């Protein structure tokens, strides 16, 4: 069941109500008894309130799979040979 946000038109009291989708919207403010309006959300993701939800339950986009071992590749060292040039060569 979703949580709906309401705001009173008279006293501007904002509150949340946990109700089913088929339930009728509230009409009276619990503080002053004035008319309330249901606020429209921004379309953000679902907010889980309460215990029982773990961050490991859902896969992250940037997660690295830990079940596969990483292959360590050794880069062979290149031996560089330098030739000494002899400026005094015999003919």
Predicted confidence at residue 10, as pLDDT, reads: 93
Q: In the chain, what is the straight-line distance between the N-terminal and C-terminal CA atoms, in Å?
A: 98
pTM summary value: 0.45
Can you read off the two tokens belonging to residue 13?
A: 């009291």
Question: Domain 1-43, what fold?
Answer: Rubrerythrin, domain 2 (2.20.28)
Predicted confidence at residue 2, as pLDDT, reads: 80
| DSSP summary character for residue 79 | P
Share of the chain above pLDDT 70, in %: 46
- Report which of residues 73 and 1 the model is more confident about: 1
Res. 21 pLDDT band, cuts 50 70 90: confident
Average pLDDT, the chain: 75
């Amino acid at each position: 069941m979703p949580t709906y946000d309401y705001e009173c038109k008279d006293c501007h009291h904002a509150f949340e109500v946990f109700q089913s989708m088929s339930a009728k919207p509230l009409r009276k403010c619990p503080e002053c008894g004035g008319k309330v309006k249901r606020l429209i959300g921004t379309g953000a993701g679902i907010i889980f309130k309460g215990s029982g939800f773990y961050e490991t339950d859902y896969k992250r986009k940037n997660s690295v799979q830990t079940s596969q071992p990483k292959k360590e590749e050794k880069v062979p060292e290149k031996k560089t040979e330098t030739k000494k040039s002899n400026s005094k060569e015999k003919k």
